[in-house]
A and B are shown apart, each in its own frame.
Chain A
Amino acid sequence: MSEEQIKNLETQFEARIARDEKIEPKDWMPEKYRKTHIRQMSQHAHSEIIGMLPEGNWITRAPSLRRKVALLAKVQDEAGHGLYLYSACETLGISRNELYDQLHTGKAKYSSIFNYPTVTWADMGAIGWLVDGAAIINQVPLCNTSYGPYARAMVRVCKEESFHQRQGYEIMIKLANGTPEQKEMAQDALNRWWWPSLMMLGPTDDKSVHTEQSMKWKLKRKSNDDLRQQFIDQTVPQADLIGLTIPDPDLKWNEETGHYDFGEINWDEFWQVVKGHGPMNKERMKARVGAWERGEWVRDAAVAYADKKQNRKEKQAV
């Protein structure tokens, strides 16, 4: 195709998106659209998969059967969400194994929030309440994104995720209304997860390199700073309600703007964790790659069994 023809196709493509038409896998798309979507969707899928690890850590030690079945169901949902997203990503012509490879070699990123440790049971509460809360704010606009398979996967994800946040908040309510030690545990978890949750919504708008293009493709509908403000505005009253204190001395309701003002985010910490120097980066990759490698014989055995059954069927047919 000549450069002019490509330019022409690109103009038509942008017009389709502007008209709110969906793009489906076999439609022509600019290479950059394909690459950007593979990057974002796979990053999202990887986050779901790695996101199971910090919570999996507490399944066997959940304080009651009620908490245990809920946490198990949540972690199982995360596996499911990872799988929806990987399949959606594969419609863009990349194989599952390539995607796994990118995760396992560190070429692809996952949400840096999962590189923090889960040291007490209250962390299960804080993760559901804050981390899933921030994730929902990020994800709801994606239900309308331009790429059909991604939008459809996100509709399922969002529908299932609302229980995740509620189960987390319920854990926090219980602890905050419990013994002084339990309340302290809840406060400590909030202290540790608050700032990383704010960072989860991404770098500030002036530092975010992909925002403009992503807005055009409806991969993003609100800027990182707007999403962060929305998260803070909705979460602060929830903390007040259960008597916990947001660990930010500069946090203050601003009558004029109708929003909370908040303190400086430590972006150095964010970039350190993104670059692999968070407290749990190594541990997470070790657990993930280890699980994949230890599962290899199972995957191979399943293929051998499938082949054997197929051969037997063919022989009987002769």
Chain B
Amino acid sequence: MTTKKNWPLWEVFVRSKNGLEHRHFGSLHAADEEMALENARDVYTRRNEGVSIWVVESKHITASNPENYGELFEPAQDKVYRHPTFYDLPDEVKHM
């Protein structure tokens, strides 16, 4: 019952309106990029959800591993001096 070759998996990104970025909406299977776009239109934008679609074959995405969370993201946690609230200002200064 299986086909000789399976349709690959694609990730779908949709821009909901101009001025906003494309956002990940979900994924789907399609034989090629053209079909992936057509299917994305039918599966993810039946109610005016978008004005532009990107599709990319899932295998081309490189993702970070949750196991490396510590070394990747924890160093940023103790760098409060990267935020404006770290700095003391006299009350008289209104806009800065």
Binding site for B on A (CB under 8 A): 24, 26-28, 73, 76-77, 80, 83-84, 87-88, 90, 95-97, 100-101, 104, 152-153, 160, 289, 292-293, 296, 299-300, 302-303, 305-306, 309-310
A87 pairs with B63, CB closer than 8 A: no
B29 pairs with A77, CB closer than 8 A: no
**B43, B66, B67: the one within 8 Å of A80 (CB):** B43
What are the 3 tightest A-B residue pairs by CB atom distance, in nearest-first order? A306-B32, A302-B31, A306-B31
B28 beta carbon closer than 8 Å to chain A: yes
Query: What B residues does A160 contact at CB under 8 A?
Result: 46-47
Q: How far is the CA of A88 from the CA of B28 in the complex (A)?
A: 10
Looking at A87, A96, A293, which has the most chain B CB atoms within 10 Å of its CB? A87
B1 pairs with A96, CB closer than 8 A: no
B6 pairs with A87, CB closer than 8 A: no
Binding site for A on B (CB under 8 A): 1-7, 9, 26-29, 31-32, 35, 42-44, 46-47, 63, 65-67
B46 pairs with A76, CB closer than 8 A: yes
Residue of B nearest to A88 (CB): B26
A-B contact count (CB 8 A): 67
Cβ contacts A to B, 27 pairs, < 8 Å:
A24-B66, A73-B46, A76-B42, A80-B43, A80-B46, A83-B43, A84-B26, A87-B9, A87-B26, A87-B28, A96-B6, A96-B9, A97-B2, A97-B3, A97-B6, A160-B47, A293-B1, A299-B3, A299-B7, A299-B31, A302-B7, A302-B31, A302-B35, A303-B3, A303-B7, A306-B31, A306-B32
Residue of B nearest to A163 (CB): B47
Query: What B residues does A95 contact at CB under 8 A?
Result: 6
Q: How far is the CB of B72 from chain A (nearest CB, A)?
A: 13
Q: How far is the CA of A80 from the CA of B26 in the complex (A)?
A: 11
A292 pairs with B43, CB closer than 8 A: no
